[in-house]
């Protein structure tokens, strides 16, 4: 069954959506979009380090994404102004990663595949890594759902309930780092944040509960992946950008339907 590259690509897109749906909902609620960009851009540096030290690329991207997540979470807990800090870190990590790749001897790396993804080249091993990471993130979201939701809605209420808001923020940032490592092969570093934000934003226009929004975001992500693959095969367009383009169309339709729905 998994010998067909298109079947593997479809399963990869659906697997990624399992993680980006609920996690993307928290990204939207907490306005963490820029953090998603910073972590995904840092993944390119992980690619360079993995190639330089002859390690699996997934190991390099996960390691650097986790490091970025820990640094950002620590700075946020200390009250740093995160918009400027994230901007500096995101673009610096991307620049250093692109420069570092150029110094790796004997490696001809197709940067476009890392920047925009190459879902049609997903292997069985990649598929196992994607689904393993997605299930891990989904399980973490289910386990910490109520605590994360409380800390997101009202930090004072979270403290009164005995919850540590900094710990819940760290849980989110670590989960986001895992998603970045998982998604790099599918949509690439430059489009990861889009797959976190757009399906969740589309779901918010239609959902009435937080749980409903997370579930709808999974569905929108899966539909975007399958629709983007169909568009790529029919029109010979890049698969990663096609997935995000379909997600954007679904978002526009969801917003229009949301406005027509009775209050």
**How many other β-carbons are positioned within 10 Å of the β-carbon of residue 31?**
8
175 belongs to a structural domain: yes
Question: How high is the pLDDT of residue 260?
Answer: 79
131 belongs to a structural domain: yes
Residue 88 lies in domain? 5-190
**pLDDT tens, N- to C-terminus, the chain (263 residues):** 555 888 999 999 999 999 999 999 998 988 877 777 778 888 888 888 888 888 888 888 888 888 887 787 777 667 666 667 777 877 888 888 888 877 776 655 567 777 788 888 888 888 998 999 999 999 999 999 998 888 888 777 777 777 887 788 888 888 988 898 888 888 888 788 899 999 999 999 999 899 999 999 999 999 999 999 999 999 999 998 999 999 999 999 999 998 877 65
**How many other β-carbons are positioned within 10 Å of the β-carbon of residue 252?**
12
245 belongs to a structural domain: no
pLDDT digits (tens, 9 = 90+) for 232-243: 999 999 998 999
CATH of the domain at 184: 1.10.3470.10
SS3 state at 20 = helix
159 to each of 152, 153, 156, how far by Cα in Å?
12, 12, 5
What does the alpha-carbon distance between residue 223 and residue 241 come to, in Å, rounded to a whole number? 14
82 belongs to a structural domain: yes
What does the alpha-carbon distance between residue 262 and residue 53 come to, in Å, rounded to a whole number? 58
Question: How high is the pLDDT of residue 97?
Answer: 83
**How many other β-carbons are positioned within 10 Å of the β-carbon of residue 256?**
11
What does the alpha-carbon distance between residue 68 and residue 63 come to, in Å, rounded to a whole number? 9
132 belongs to a structural domain: yes
Report yes or no: 83 and 90 within 8 Å, Cβ to Cβ.
no
pLDDT digits (tens, 9 = 90+) for 93-126: 888 888 887 777 665 556 777 778 888 888 888 8
236 belongs to a structural domain: no
Number of H helices, E strands in the chain: 12, 0
State how many domains the chain has.
Answer: 1
CA 104 to chain centre: 27
239 belongs to a structural domain: no
Question: How high is the pLDDT of residue 15?
Answer: 93
240 belongs to a structural domain: no
């Amino acid at each position: 069954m998994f010998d067909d590259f298109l079947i593997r690509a479809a399963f990869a897109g659906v697997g990624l959506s399992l993680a980006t749906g609920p996690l993307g909902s928290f990204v939207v609620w907490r306005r963490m979009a820029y953090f998603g960009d910073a972590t995904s851009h840092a993944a390119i540096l992980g690619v360079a380090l993995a190639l330089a030290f002859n390690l699996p690329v997934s190991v390099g991207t996960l390691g650097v994404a986790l490091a970025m997540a820990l640094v950002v979470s620590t700075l946020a807990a200390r009250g740093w102004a995160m918009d400027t800090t994230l901007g500096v870190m995101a673009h610096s990590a991307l620049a250093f990663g692109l420069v570092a790749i150029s110094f790796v001897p004997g490696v001809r790396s197709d940067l476009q595949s890392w920047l925009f993804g190459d879902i049609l080249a997903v292997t069985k091993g990649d598929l196992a890594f994607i689904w393993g990471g997605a299930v891990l993130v989904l399980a973490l979201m289910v386990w910490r759902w109520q605590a994360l939701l409380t800390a997101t809605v009202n930090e004072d209420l979270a403290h009164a309930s005995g919850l540590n808001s900094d710990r819940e923020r760290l849980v989110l940032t670590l989960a986001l780092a895992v998603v970045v490592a998982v998604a790099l092969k599918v949509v690439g570093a430059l489009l990861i944040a889009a797959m976190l934000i757009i399906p969740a934003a589309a779901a918010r226009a239609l959902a009435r509960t937080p749980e409903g929004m997370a579930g709808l975001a999974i569905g929108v992500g899966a539909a975007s992946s399958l629709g983007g693959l169909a568009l790529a095969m029919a029109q010979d367009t890049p698969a990663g950008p096609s997935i995000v383009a379909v997600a954007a169309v679904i978002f526009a339709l969801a917003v229009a339907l949301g406005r027509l729905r009775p209050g």
